[in-house]
Structure 1
Amino acid sequence: MSSILAIIICLLALFTQSQSLSSPTVCIIGSGIAGSSLAHFLRSYSPPNSPPSAARILLFERNGIVGGRMATVTISGETFEAGASILHPMNYHASNFTKLLNLKRRIPPTSMSSFSLGIWNGNKFVFKTLTFEFKNPFVQKIVSFANSLYMLLRYGFSLFKMNSFVEVTVNKFLKYYQSFETRPTFETVDEMLQWAGLYNLTTCTLQEELVNVALSPLLIQELVTVITRINYGQSVYISGLAGAVSLAGSGGGLWSIEGGNWQMASGLINRSDIELHLHEEILSIFNLGESYELNSTKGRSYMCEVTAIATPLDELNIQFTPPISIPERQLQHTHATFVRGLLNPGYFGLQTVSEIPELVGTIEDPDLPFSSISILKRHNETDMTYKVFSRKAMPDSLLDNIFSVRKETIRIDWGAYPHYKAPEVFAPFILDGQHLYYVNAFENAASTMETSAVAAENVARLILSRLFGEVSLSTSYFMSSFSDDELLHAEL
């Protein structure tokens, strides 16, 4: 009798273990593009009726809406991107998400070929492209061509060298879209970058990289500096890979999602069969051996076989037991100030508003109060909506000097991206050697919506392969996402 009872107990134990393996709980912290992409890839890469497909996924977001640093702002009833704003034509994950979710692309009205650019040094415009009030498309093409010649005269063939530098970097990044047969999973960011041939770019500054490819000092001091200040709020002394990504984000073909990029996160979450916990911040994570106990601001506890952090840890106060060790990192704060009103031409030493370029960039000078000012929408000649980027909050007194009219002002302080400093040191994707993962470890290489999705895709593969052993991942989703023509013939 006792032997029969022992057998029953063993069978129950095996059944319980099997149930745990077949339906693990995966907890994801953060609902931005990293967290939503991770949930999506976990579902998409799990073959139907397989153990991974039965996983329970919980997603925690401390705010009341999803999207993280993808957010919008409403001014006078109109909506504009407030956070992550632009996507590159070769952001293939974002492109696929857009198709998958039936979202519409929006081409920014101020593309590189159409907007007027001015580089401000605090006293005058050291460079300003031509502008023409007449909006006839043929005339605009002529003006665009003239501006290209004008830039070539000022910066010479260094422009082509800069484009070549960016193209080489982007082509290396495209390796992350290769099929599973040729692309391994990576446990560290270092391995991931070395495999693609990108690691060395994180060991030097952008300034050093551009000097090595013989860019002119004038181009680096002016145009390149304007781009890095706009895209990362930092100087050309950021690490080389982040700088190259920043330069890629200033080219042609840029786009966004009609109605807001946050819809990618929302759509991926909605179709991934997850339990979404809004207004719930995770305060502590305890490693209990076979699982993790997560405790939240709502006084609740959750048991998770897998925990993935998909938000920067730099300004969070999660208590880890046992403690984890990651390199210290600071976030670069960008202050985005949205103003509906009218710029003051006198501030720029000009006579009329029409003389002010649509995009005002700045050189690197600690005394300059802003990084850039751009027109988001021209309602009429005396009423426009602007976006101002700065490293510090802009007080009303300063705004009243820069603007002659302010009907509405909205300020947002973004902990937007890492403060880049070469050589970069990376946290691992696996924080404890078990099943505690950190998607945002990749941000020290470069921070964009697409790089977050690329990192999330790698972590999803890592989780599935480590949790279920040699389980065969479903490649049907991935291989249908990108055509051979896209990957083999992509050009900047």
Structure 2
Amino acid sequence: MGHRAILPSSLHIFRMAPLLLLVALVPQLCTGQPGPPDPPGRIAVIGAGIGGSAVTYFLQQQFGPQVQIDVYEADRVGGRLATLTVNSQQYECGSPSMHSLNLHMQDFVKLLGLKHRKEVAGKSAIFNGENLVLEETDWYLLNLFRLWWHYGISFLRLQMWVEEVMEKFMRIYKYQAHEYAFSTIEGLLRSLGGDHFVNMTQKSVGESLQGIGVSQRFIDDVISAVMKASYGQSVSIPGFVGAMSLAGAQGNMWSIEGGNKLVCSGLLKLTKANVIHARVTAVSLHNTEKKHLYEVHYEQEGTLGSDFYDLVILAAPLHKAGYPITFLNLQPSLPEPMGPYHRVVTSIVHGYLNSSYFGFVDPKLFPFSSILSMDTPDAIFHSLESLCPVNVSVGFRRKPPQEAAVWRVLSQRPLDRKELKTLFKSYYSVQVIEWQAFPSYAAAGSSKSLPPIILHDGLYYLSGVEWAASSAEMSAVAAKNVALLAFNRWFGLNEKIDQQDLMHKLKTEL
């Protein structure tokens, strides 16, 4: 009897189990506790330079291949990674090379199956408008002796300073590998080098180097020439910008076979991004019951259009003349841009160099492939460089100085006929590109803050990082940071954002 009584009771309990489970879930259902959000359906990236193409790749890595990414580009894919054609050969007219420590760019090359271009050796010199003040030789020890003879140990102090900055900067790759992100540029810099890195964005490179005992003569002769060749600006540019540039000036540079722009087109093709060749005119906010939506308005071949997105990434300068973007319905309104972009003119000249202008009457004796100009009032160029084509054959050699070659001349304004005749005995062709290449750092004045990364809940600004330092790798670092930041904020992973003392944290975790 007892056994028969127990069995029906047990069956009754098992039949009641689904109901009991439902009762247990009712409080949670009634409180409306949300589950994890769905990933974004559509993302817009504005700009298809290295920043835009890199962030497209990193966004897909984070959110998965199902997310649709539209990339808007008003000009050309690649941005400042660009080439020009001379006599059926392509030559770099934008960013010519990358540093060996640029790990994101190195990864892109491997990922896309690209190759490093064969290095073609060449020597450099610095010109003061009348004479060559420093000449590189084929002998490393002789070069060191000349630097010591002219400038004492200033070059050693410079090297130690740059190496210290780069060693700390390299921490960013470990942070990003562990998916940590930063909501401000200052926060990112502070995580790498403390307040010192942030202060370097507010103090000039000239002041920074004087502070470590580099002589004024070395700054005037060498540092000013490197800054002019790199950014077309003086040693008044911020110290952090200068340190990044000087790291490149110390060698270990490389380029991509076929052109550096292949990274951009390759990443967009790899991600199957939808590239829309149109000029974005406005971004407007639309609030729905559940979330923000952003409408991107654009002009394409005279026709106006728009589309809606969950996230928008601005990978083009907000204040670049000629491409203004209006923001509608955003509260609070966006801060004023820090300043304009600096104009640099690139002239690709196919011709015979006038070596006598640099003190070599016999052109056969001219040994240099590049000349940097000191920052003098009468300087007609920033730098002058003999270019190799982007496809370098195995047996390629630079042309002898007495033969016509392709030269890249950087200057503040287009060269007039007299200036061209000063630099070249004769020439077959001149192609000119005017770039708004870099921020006009002097225009920022004594501003104590860098541009924001988060403009609105789902609106991010990638290109503001250029006010801290401008290079292809800095754009790639910023792209990875924005992708991680957008992902972590979307899914509420606050423990991965703006963490303090990350170096110690990662050491204890590992």
Q: Under a length normalisation based on structure 1, what TM-score does the superposition of the two structures give?
A: 0.84
Q: Secondary structure of 2:222's partner?
A: helix
Q: Which residue does 1:440 correspond to in 2?
A: 463
Determine if the alignment matches structure 1 residue 98 to structure 2 residue 109: yes
Q: CA deviation at 1:372?
A: 1.1
Q: 2:81 matched to 1:58?
A: no
Describe the shift of the 1:349–1:272 C-alpha distance in structure 2 as closer, same or farther (beyond 3 A). same
The match for 2:294 is: 292
Q: Which residue of 2 aligns with 1:168?
A: 164
Q: Distance in 2 between matches of 1:178 and 1:117?
A: 35
Task: Please give the residue correspondences for 1:121-270 in structure 2 after superposition, counting only pairs within 5 Å.
Answer: 121-130=128-137, 140=138, 143-179=139-175, 184-197=180-193, 198-270=197-269
| Residue 355 of structure 1, CA deviation | 4.2
- Tell me if the contact between 1:239 and 1:423 (Cα under 8 Å) persists in the aligned partners: no
Q: Is residue 349–residue 430 contact of structure 2 (8 Å, CA) maintained in 1?
A: yes
Q: Which has the larger radius of gyration?
A: 2
Whether 1:454 aligns to 2:477 is yes
Contact residue 202 and residue 423 of structure 1 kept, 8 A = no
Note if 1:304 corresponds to 2:309: yes
| CA drift at 1:117 | 2.6
| CA displacement, residues 405-452 of structure 1 (integer Å, 9 cap, x when unaligned) | 1011111111111122464531111112x1111001111000000000
Distance 1:73 1:145 in 2: 37
In the TM superposition, what whole-angstrom CA distance separates every residue of 1:220-245 from its partner, at most 9, and x where no partner exists? 11111111111111111110000001
- Which range is displaced more, 311-320 or 377-386? 377-386
Q: Root-mean-square deviation (CA), in Å?
A: 2.4
Report deviation, 1:324: 2.1
Q: CA deviation at 1:74?
A: 1.1
The unaligned stretches of length 5 or more in structure 1 are 1-10, 47-51, 131-139, 474-483, 485-492
How many Å apart are 1:256 and its aligned residue?
0.9
Alignment-mate amino acid for residue 416 of structure 2: P
Percent identity for Structure 1 against Structure 2: 30
Query: For the structure 1 residues 117 and 273, does the alpha-carbon distance in structure 2 shift closer, same or farther, using more than 3 Å as the test?
Result: closer
How big is the shift at 1:186? 1.0
Tell me which amino acid in the other structure corresponds to 2:354.
N
State the distance in 2 between where 1:191 and 1:291 align.
Answer: 28
Counterpart Cα distance in 2 of 1:102 and 1:181: 22
Residue 256 of structure 2 aligns with an amino acid whose one-letter code is I
Query: Contact 2:186 / 2:450 at 8 angstroms: preserved in 1?
Result: yes
1:379 aligned residue (399, 408, 414): 399
Structure-2 residue corresponding to 1:36:
53
Equivalent pair of 2:345/2:435 in contact (CA under 8 Å): yes
Count of aligned pairs:
437
Partner of residue 92 from structure 2, selected from 73, 81, 98: 81
- Counterparts of 1:167 and 1:257 in 2: how far apart (Å)? 25
Gaps of 5+ in 2: 1-28, 389-397, 497-505
Distance in 1 between the 2:479 and 2:177 partners? 19
AA partner of residue 470 (structure 1): L
In structure 2, C-alpha distance between the alignment counterparts of 1:107 and 1:310, rounded to whole Å = 31
The one-letter code of the counterpart of 2:284 is F
Tell me the distance in 2 between the aligned counterparts of 1:181 and 1:238. 31
Give 1:427's aligned residue.
Answer: 451
Q: Distance in 2 between matches of 1:447 and 1:107?
A: 25
Query: TM-score, length-normalised on structure 2?
Result: 0.81
Deviations, residues 13-68 of structure 1 (Å, cap 9, x unaligned):
x9xx999934521000001111111111111123xxxxx553211111112x4111
Q: Deviations over 1:340-390 (max 9, x none)?
A: 111113333431223443221111112211111111144343211111111
Q: Does the aligned pair in 2 maintain the 1:176–1:183 contact within 8 Å?
A: no
